Structures are given as structure tokens and as C-alpha cells.
Amino acid sequence: MSDPVDSRSSLSDAPTPEPASGHKLTRRGFFAGLGMTGAASVLAACSSADDSAASAGNAGADSGASIRKIDFDGPHQAGIQEDSQTHALVVAFDLKRDGLPSGGLKQNLTRLMRIWTGDARSMTQGKTALADLEHELTVAPQNLTITVGWGPKLIEEVGLLGDAPSWVKKNLDGLPKFKGDKLNDDFGAADVVLQICGDDLTAVSHAARVLTRGGRDYATPKWTQRGFVDSPTGETPRNLLGFKDGTAIPRKEEEYNEFIWDDQGGSAMVVRRIVFDMPAWEQLDRKSREVVFGRHVDTGAPIGGNDEFDPVDLNKAGDDGLPLIDERSHVGITAGEGTHIRRRAYNWDNEVTPLGNSGLIFICFQNDPDKAFTPLQKRLAEKDRLNKWITHVGSAVFWVLPGTQHGAYWGQKILEG
Amino acid sequence: MSDPVDSRSSLSDAPTPEPASGHKLTRRGFFAGLGMTGAASVLAACSSADDSAASAGNAGADSGASIRKIDFDGPHQAGIQEDSQTHALVVAFDLKRDGLPSGGLKQNLTRLMRIWTGDARSMTQGKTALADLEHELTVAPQNLTITVGWGPKLIEEVGLLGDAPSWVKKNLDGLPKFKGDKLNDDFGAADVVLQICGDDLTAVSHAARVLTRGGRDYATPKWTQRGFVDSPTGETPRNLLGFKDGTAIPRKEEEYNEFIWDDQGGSAMVVRRIVFDMPAWEQLDRKSREVVFGRHVDTGAPIGGNDEFDPVDLNKAGDDGLPLIDERSHVGITAGEGTHIRRRAYNWDNEVTPLGNSGLIFICFQNDPDKAFTPLQKRLAEKDRLNKWITHVGSAVFWVLPGTQHGAYWGQKILEG
């Protein structure tokens, strides 16, 4: 085996690129999970000889290095609209309340937001957080995003219901319970959530440690959920049932404005933990699996279609005159509503066991869950054939604060308003 | 946000490359964790215009696609000599013994090896395992390697001690207990181990599920350890204490032949689970941390040196005449022995907690642990300054079987001999 030092140093000499001009519009996240990571840096070496090569993957926008960043500041928080990174670490916290004087909770929430915003702004941009001595672990954020949300109960408790979207006060006790839910508190409501996503798990892990440590006087971790998605051949990532997951999502700016962002530029984050019954699922043949999903396994196309992005037509019938897509299939129920929520689902697995121990962290964003996730999930809970193989065990909802600009901290306008 | 479908399909059309001619010699694994993933496929588009560009990362060897494989067959098992992939999933199994007739255990071990070898050979090469209906999850193995080992007790029980290297019968009860060890059975001895490594966690997870299911009649999972390493800028990966980990490893064929492979082409795999005391570590300033490790944090160079790969000279003194590297530092104790073991350490973390919940899965390979890991660890356990911040909680050792060729299954020669 030859010594890899030479090629190593040729990479490490690459300069740090400027951050993208607006995190909403960058497509670098899309390439991140797709094995396109290093393309940009190598392309830089050959694009002068053949500029057209750079257009092969739109990688020209990302020239110069293997260090990748997503802007922190903007009208909306990062970590929603960008294409999913390969790793997600979602940590829910409860605020400390013992011995606090009146008004103390709001004051502590303010302190926590100040600390976390500063550290998140630094780490996502490849800089060192306050009091962090391991700055080598933040040099390459690799599309690190850190997204914060507040739970409805906390918003009420600190007297800010009037400043939050109206869905918050209608969901003080969390989302409604749906048919078949087997929820446990382990993955339930909490005061604050951090969604930490990135393509480099070391950076994600370090960020979680820095934020937990930085906030330790005010907040204690309540639950942790980890997930991963991969897209080695550049297609939509697959879940652990083998199907593409995330075909129908909003992709246009107008769709985000209409369905995802609320009036203040925030959003509602739903986190559902779903467990798969793998032994039962594995007994289904592929055809049955396709009936359940309403899509083909290989292409992801609606049944009877050829391409993943073919429109879903529930009226299309086969030679026998029967509808090709079963009305109780997953797609049969969700058709047409894919752009109303920004799915950001992640696979999870755990301790390897004989029966399997895996599933999906279904994360979605929308401007009003009462109009998006909740009615849709109600229909799914009643009818979806897939319910036989999946169980929802965790449910939480948070108001994702508007984005930050000009050095502000998360929620500043609301907390100081 | 523009529609990414175009670039997606340009990637998915890429043809599957031929497997490398010999997995030991491929350097593709080195690039795997380094953000070089997609370089090959994009380079293919421009190398005709500028062939020299391909040499920038030796990526020419990997032309044509973003699908990456490491050969399964060879004189040694894959997953040892190749550069570390970004993810490791180590699963230990115990064989089922209830109601087995005399000789039944060896027979079942044979059956298990047959099944697993076939499935591992398929999945690592991007093909579908027997009885697996989710073949889309194995199309892109992304450097998936699956490595098997047997525990000393099992080898004795099936009457094969005479066929195994002599260290096996000297370690029937596992490695010796070292000073400071706080071992628990959760991560201790087991009958069989699978080390599943890869750059795509979905493929790794799926492989673990397929193998566990395929072997369910014969083996039950006992413990699971997951780890990750990242190298975004192409340098040696860092552990969660912030230091480079894996600088001194054998890199030459001769070193592998002398120190890593045993007479049959097998090896000894040591798996130690190490927990970090993060709050205490975080109180150390950088200079103190460097004294503890004997290396600089930033470059990884031995203290007083400039480059990570500078030789470690314990006699080098500073202006004050004192040795630059403390003799009780980690490097002060291990200097000169780095090539005697193939470190393959992975970071782990878990549920986010106030005190942190992370550490290192120290995996190493050598031809004889009694000559490599054990004496070294004895010295470390007695003297290493780092012991104040780390605790070994798991310890296991396995004989890694020789490699397979010509369609043989793991251990065939030994089981049928």
C-alpha cells in the first residue's frame, strides 16, 4: 500500500470557500449526500481546460475546496429548505425551573438563545464556538445546520402565545393523538428542540456536545434521535423498507412561501418517531410492497408509471379496469399534498436484534400543522395499508423561530418585543 | 430553488465499475472518507481534456461511477488493511446451543459461515443477498466490507484449537484484565463477531439486518457497537477529544505481513470500548491536552515537530533541557509500536446527556495480541496520563479467519479439514 500522504496534503491545502450568498438558494446540500462531495475541488483543477465539465453537476458554484458551509443567517432558519444532509441529530431539551423567580424562565430562555445562536452561527460557518478548545472539529462544517424550535407549552409559560402563530395555542398539549399511535414520553413534548444536521458526523456530534455544554445552566437534554439518509447514486434516498422517501416535496420558492414559512418566516416542525415491523414486512413480496406504497420499488414511479416524478393519477386504470393505485395505499392517501409539507425524514436503527430495531424519524415542516400534517396524518392513521407494518411511538411539535439577521439571536424580536 | 432532477439523472446513468483487482492494494477506501467521493465520476468527464487532472487524487483508478466496491475475496479478509470507511457497525453474536446434539454446534457454525459468506460476498459487490427483496439497498455498497471473527471459547468448544493460532488457547477467557478496566459483559466476549464498515450507513444498516436475519436460526446478536470517523479535509480523522487518531499505522505490505497477518492469512481483532470523561477533559487547556497526548492538536505532529508524520523522538529536549515529549504521555508510551497493530478506531456517541456520552471504539488487528496489543495496553494502563480521562468498559478478542477464494466460505478449510 503506497503512502497516501501526498494526496492528503493536496486536499488539505485547498482554501476555504466563501459562504454561499443565500442559504435558501444553495444547491450544495443536494450534492452533499450524493457522492458529489469532492467533485468541486477536483473540478477546479481541470475546469480551465474544459469549462463545460463544471456544468456536469452544477459543482462550479462550489469551487475551491472540500469544506462546505450553509449560511446561518437569513429570513428563515437553515436546515429546512436545503436538501437533506446525510446525518441528523435531533435533541429535545427541557428548561430548568427549580428555584426560578417569576419571570426567570423567560430570562433564562433568552440567555439560552443568546448562547446557542452565537455558537451555532460560529460552528456552522467553520468557526469556533465560545469556550470550545477543539476548534479543529469545527473547521469543516460540511453543511452543518442547527435549527431551533420552542414547544407550545413553553411558549405559553413564558407568556408569548400572542407572538406565536395561532396553531401554537391550539396545540398546547401537542398534536392530537391519532389512531394506532403508541406514544411514549421518551420522544414526546419538550421545551426546546435542536435539529443538528450535516454530512460529517464528527462535526454534528461535536456541535451537539458544545451546545449541550454551553446551555447546561439553563437546559437539560430530554431525548435524542439520530438518523441518516444516503443517496450514493444521486437518486432520492431510500428508507429501510427499500422505498424512495422524499419524492414529493416542495422545490419552488413559491411553494415554500405558500406552505412552509409562516408570517414571521418561521415554521412548524413535527417530529414523529416510527418503528418498523421488519420481520412482517420482510414476508411481503415486492408486488405486495408496491401495492402498499402505491409506487414501484425500483424507480419510485407511481404504479403504472415509469419515472419517479410522474404525476400521481389515482384515476388511471389497468387493463382490468381497476385503479392502478390502491386508494388505501400510502400514495393513494397522500397524493397531491406532498408539496404542502417539507418532509425531512431520516432513517434510524439501533442495537441489532433478531426482530430488527429500526424505522423512520419523520420530520416535517409547514406553516400550520392543523392544515398540513394533522389532517393528512389523520387520514393515514385511519386508512393507510402501511399501518400494518409501522407504529408511531413518538410525537412532538415545535415552533421553529424565524431566521436571524444582522447579529440577532434566535427569537430576539419576540423575547424583547 | 431550481429542480435538481437533471443533475440527478446524469449521476444515476453512470455505469457500474469493475471491482478493483485486489482489495488489499486499492486506495479507494482512503478517498472514501475524504470528501473525494464523487471526484472520479466527474473527473471522467474532463480527463480527456486534461489527463493530468486525474492524478490529483489518484482518482483515475476509480473511473466511471459513484458506486464504490472493495473486493470480498482475497488471501485476507477485507475490512482490515483498507483505509477506514466512515462508518463501522460491529455486532457480536452468540450461537444457539439449546437442544443441540453432540457435534451440532460445529455443524451450525458451518451453516452460519456458509450463509454469511454468500450474503457478504454478494452485498459487498453490489449484488443481492439470498432471500433479500430490497436489492436497491445493496446496489451501491460504497466500500462496504464485512469481516468475521470467532471467539476463543467457541473455537475451543468446536474442537478447533489446534487449527487456530497459538494465541487463541492462551486467551480463552479473553484478554487479561488491565489496571483501571471497568469491564461489563455488555461489550465482552462472544462467539462470533461481524465488523461491517462502509461509507453509506443505509447500506451498512441493511447489511446488518440481512445477516442477522439470515443467521437467525443459529446465532443471536449479543451486542452492537457503532462508530464513525470523518476526514473532511483529507487529513487523518480526529477523535472526539480533538486529536488525530491513526497517524502511526502500518502502510507497507511488508509491515502487514510481519505484524498483522498470521500464518494462515488471518489476524486477531481486539475490540475495546472506551468512554471519555468529557467534562473533565474540557477543563484542560490545549497545552495540557498536548502534554497528555505528546502531540500537537492542530498538526498532529509530535511535540516540538511540525508535521504529523515526523518521527517521534523521545530524546529530543527543549531549551530547558527537559524532554519535549513526556514519557508518560500517550505517544511517549506507544512510540515505535504504531506499525505493530492496525488501528481501526472509530468514534462513538450516544444519547446526548449533560455529562457527555461518547468515546472511542478502539479496534485493532495484529497477528498475535500477546505480542502486540496486550503488552502495549499493559504499559498504557499503568502509566498513560490519558487514563485520567478515559475508561475501558468493553473488551473482546476474536480470531479473524483467513480470506476466502474460489467461492469458498469463511473458515471452510478449518471446518472441513
pLDDT in tens, B117-175: 999 999 999 999 988 888 899 999 999 999 999 999 999 999 999 999 999 999 999 99
- Residue A283 neighbours by CB distance under 10 Å: 11
Query: Distance between CA A137 and CA A132 in Å, rounded?
Result: 10
Question: pLDDT digit string (tens) for B276-330?
Answer: 999 999 999 999 999 999 999 999 999 999 999 999 999 999 999 999 999 999 9
Residues across chain B: 417
Assess whether A189 and A51 both reside in one domain.
no
User: What average pLDDT does the structure give for chain B?
Assistant: 86
Chain A: give the shortest CA distance to residue B29, in Å: 11
Residues of A in contact with B284 (CB under 8 A): 133
In a domain, B319, yes or no: no
Question: pLDDT digit string (tens) for B103-121?
Answer: 999 999 999 999 999 999 9
Assess whether A199 and A169 both reside in one domain.
yes
Question: pLDDT digit string (tens) for A328-343?
Answer: 999 999 998 888 999 9
In this prediction, residue A266 has a pLDDT band, given cuts at 50, 70 and 90, of: very high
Residues of B in contact with A84 (CB under 8 A): none
Chain A: give the shortest CA distance to residue B55, in Å: 9
- Verify whether the Cβ–Cβ distance A230 to B203 is below 8 Å: yes
**Cell digits for A361?**
424519524
Q: Are A396 and A190 in contact (CB under 8 A)?
A: yes
- Residue B304 neighbours by CB distance under 10 Å: 15
Interior/surface letters A388-417, b for 16+ CB within 10 angstroms, e for the rest: ebbbbbbbbbbbbbbbbeeebbbbbebbee
Burial class (CB in 10 A: 0-12, 13-18, 19+), B321: exposed
pLDDT at A49: 29
Instruction: Name the closest residue on chain B to residue A25, using Cα atoms.
Output: B1
Continuous H helices in B13-151: 28-32, 39-46, 104-124
- Verify whether the Cβ–Cβ distance B35 to A286 is below 8 Å: no
Continuous H helices in B173-215: 201-214
Residues of B in contact with A209 (CB under 8 A): 240, 278, 349, 352, 356, 358
Residues of B in contact with A43 (CB under 8 A): 42-43, 46
Task: Indicate the DSSP class of residue B296.
Answer: -
Question: pLDDT digit string (tens) for A352-396?
Answer: 999 999 999 999 999 999 999 999 999 999 999 999 999 999 999
Look up residue A280 and give its amino acid: A
Q: Which residue has the cell 491545502?
A: A13
Residues of B in contact with A236 (CB under 8 A): 8
- Verify whether the Cβ–Cβ distance B286 to A252 is below 8 Å: no
Instruction: Name the closest residue on chain A to residue B284, using Cα atoms.
Output: A133
Chain A: give the shortest CA distance to residue B148, in Å: 16
Residues of A in contact with B253 (CB under 8 A): 1
For chain A, report the end-to-end CA distance as a whole number of angstroms.
63
Count CA within 13 A, CB hemisphere, residue A107: 6
Residues of A in contact with B256 (CB under 8 A): 1
3-class state of residue B358 by DSSP: strand
pLDDT at B134: 86
Query: Distance between CA B85 and CA B147 in Å, rounded?
Result: 13
Chain A: give the shortest CA distance to residue B64, in Å: 12
- Residue A213 neighbours by CB distance under 10 Å: 18
In a domain, A118, yes or no: yes
Assess whether B41 and B124 both reside in one domain.
no
Domain tally, chain A:
2
Mutate: best of A89, A202, A258, partner B, most B CBs <10 A: A202
Compute CA A382 distance to the chain's CA centroid, rounded to the nearest angstrom.
Answer: 26
In this prediction, residue B339 has a pLDDT band, given cuts at 50, 70 and 90, of: confident
Query: Distance between CA A46 and CA A358 in Å, rounded?
Result: 43
Instruction: Name the closest residue on chain A to residue B58, using Cα atoms.
Output: A7
In this prediction, residue B36 has a pLDDT band, given cuts at 50, 70 and 90, of: very low
B219-222, long-range: CB within 8 Å, 24+ apart, which pairs? B219/B93, B219/B94, B219/B95, B219/B96, B219/B112, B219/B191, B219/B192, B220/A354, B220/B93, B220/B94, B220/B96, B221/A351, B221/A352, B221/A353, B221/A354, B221/B91, B221/B92, B221/B93, B222/B92, B222/B93, B222/B94, B222/B190
Comparing CB atoms, the residue among A7, A53, A240 nearest residue B45 is A53
In a domain, B382, yes or no: yes
Query: Distance between CA A84 and CA A87 in Å, rounded?
Result: 8
What lies within 8 Å, CB to CB, of A15 at 6+ separation is: A64, A65
Phi, psi of B67 (to 5 degrees): -90, 125
Assess whether B194 and B131 both reside in one domain.
yes
Question: pLDDT digit string (tens) for B226-283?
Answer: 999 999 888 999 999 999 999 999 999 999 999 999 999 999 999 999 999 999 999 9
Question: pLDDT digit string (tens) for B353-385?
Answer: 999 999 999 999 999 999 999 999 999 999 999
- Verify whether the Cβ–Cβ distance B1 to A228 is below 8 Å: no
Mutate: best of A124, A230, A285, A292, partner B, most B CBs <10 A: A230
In this prediction, residue A199 has a pLDDT band, given cuts at 50, 70 and 90, of: very high
Residues of A in contact with B233 (CB under 8 A): 11-12, 14, 66-67, 139-140
Continuous H helices in A301-353: 330-334
Cα–Cα distances in angstroms (integers) from residue B59 to residues A395, B49, B402, in the given order? 45, 16, 29
In a domain, A285, yes or no: yes
Size of interface A-B (CB pairs under 8 A): 302
Query: Distance between CA B147 and CA B195 in Å, rounded?
Result: 5
Residues of A in contact with B285 (CB under 8 A): 133
Comparing CB atoms, the residue among A11, A142, A354 nearest residue B216 is A354
Instruction: Name the closest residue on chain B to residue A241, using Cα atoms.
Output: B134
Residues of B in contact with A50 (CB under 8 A): 46, 49-50
Comparing CB atoms, the residue among A12, A31, A234 nearest residue B12 is A234
Query: Distance between CA A390 and CA B62 in Å, rounded?
Result: 40
Assess whether A55 and A154 both reside in one domain.
no
3-class state of residue B204 by DSSP: helix
In this prediction, residue A317 has a pLDDT band, given cuts at 50, 70 and 90, of: very high
Assess whether B92 and B64 both reside in one domain.
no
Chain A: give the shortest CA distance to residue B284, in Å: 9
In this prediction, residue B33 has a pLDDT band, given cuts at 50, 70 and 90, of: very low
Task: Tell me the β-bridge partners of B254.
Answer: none
- What ipTM goes with this model? 0.86
Helix (H) / strand (E) containing B339 = none
Spatial CA neighbour of B194 closest among B179, B173, B209: B209
Residues of A in contact with B58 (CB under 8 A): 7
Residues across chain A: 417
Asked whether residue B53 carries a pLDDT value surpassing 70, the answer given is: no
- Verify whether the Cβ–Cβ distance A209 to B278 is below 8 Å: yes
Cα–Cα distances in angstroms (integers) from residue B310 to residues A8, B341, B372, in the given order? 15, 19, 23
Query: Distance between CA A37 and CA A198 in Å, rounded?
Result: 12
Task: Indicate the DSSP class of residue B321.
Answer: S
Q: Which domain holds residue A35?
A: 26-66
Assess whether B197 and B162 both reside in one domain.
yes
Query: Distance between CA A233 and CA B15 in Å, rounded?
Result: 10
Compute CA A36 distance to the chain's CA centroid, rounded to the nearest angstrom.
Answer: 20
Helix (H) / strand (E) containing A375 = helix A373-383
In a domain, B318, yes or no: no
pLDDT at B60: 28
Assess whether A61 and A100 both reside in one domain.
no
In a domain, B100, yes or no: yes
In a domain, A154, yes or no: yes
Compute CA A383 distance to the chain's CA centroid, rounded to the nearest angstrom.
Answer: 26
In a domain, B95, yes or no: yes
Query: Distance between CA A402 and CA A255 in Å, rounded?
Result: 17
Assess whether A231 and A109 both reside in one domain.
yes
Chain A: give the shortest CA distance to residue B20, in Å: 14
Comparing CB atoms, the residue among B25, B57, B209 nearest residue A1 is B25
Assess whether A133 and A43 both reside in one domain.
no
Phi, psi of B128 (to 5 degrees): -90, 135
Comparing CB atoms, the residue among B91, B240, B284 nearest residue A206 is B240
pLDDT at A405: 93
pLDDT at A60: 28
Instruction: Name the closest residue on chain B to residue A238, using Cα atoms.
Output: B137
Q: Which residue has the cell 415509469?
A: A306
Assess whether A170 and A222 both reside in one domain.
yes
Assess whether A142 and A31 both reside in one domain.
no
Continuous H helices in A189-246: 201-214
